[in-house]
Amino acid sequence: MLIALSTSLSAQLEISKINDSVLVYTTYQPIGEEFFPSNSMCVLTNSGILMVDTPWDTTQLRPLFDSLQKFWQARPVQVISTHFHKDRTAGLDWLSAHGVKTISIEMTRQLCMENNEEIPQFVVEPGSYVLDNVSYTIVYPGPGHAPDNIVLYFPRWKLLYGGCFIKSFVSENLGNVGDADVRSWLKAAKHVRKQYGSAELVITGHQDWKGLESLNQTIHLLHQAKKSGQ
């Protein structure tokens, strides 16, 4: 259940409390004449914080660490990047230098190297994992927004973290499709909906989030794109 708490810590960092163990944080970058939001997530475990993706605005890394210490008296120990684009990998070097284990699937690591993005230290396979008291599943649904995009599912909270693979329910288009495979994305999104259709909360990579409305909107936009020949 979403707790309606949003704290503006600066003009560039907002933190929203989902429950006692999950926070979504939002940073911003200018696109055209507007600042566009990027969502990432933190999960509290017994041994520290699992970050899912990085701040888009890396100047917010230190304020984020300070805020997590204030909220939870804990620090990040791992970060998982859900694909190679900068809004998911910016700051990996800083995080590694501050003792955070940086992780991705192999394809993401390779694409980071090929595209001169910051490179995760460690590689994991899609599958089920447990970090102390928190279990989660890493799912590679196939190419979509990017060739390497993954999603994560946290069964305790029926929470699906979609990253940029899932568009917000308020999105009117697919956004950046420079690395997208629209036809594969449609098939992959339908597969994710079939597997995780019981999710009660879906965290999107950008803009507002809710439940399955966002996944349904993604599929709708992909159908539209397919009809238009994308």
Residue 181 has pLDDT above 50, yes or no: yes
Please tell me the predicted confidence (pLDDT) of residue 2: 35
Give the tens place of pLDDT for each residue, 3-39.
Answer: 334 444 445 899 999 999 999 999 999 888 888 999 9
pTM, to two decimals: 0.93
Q: Mean pLDDT, to the nearest integer, of 130-146?
A: 97
Please tell me the predicted confidence (pLDDT) of residue 227: 81
Q: Which residue has the higher pLDDT, 18 or 226?
A: 18
Please tell me the predicted confidence (pLDDT) of residue 31: 84
Structure token pair of residue 23: 């926070």
Give the tens place of pLDDT for each residue, 54-111.
Answer: 999 999 999 999 999 999 999 999 999 999 999 999 999 999 999 999 999 999 999 9
- What whole-number distance in Å separates Cα of residue 4 and Cα of residue 22? 13
Other Cβ atoms less than 10 A from the Cβ of 98: the count is 13
Which has the closest alpha carbon to 181: 134, 220, 136, 149? 149
Question: What structural domains and CATH numbers belong to the chain?
Answer: 6-227 (3.60.15.10)
Q: In what order do the strands lie in the sheet with 151-154?
A: 127-131, 134-139, 151-154, 159-163, 201-204
229 pLDDT tier (thresholds 50, 70, 90): confident
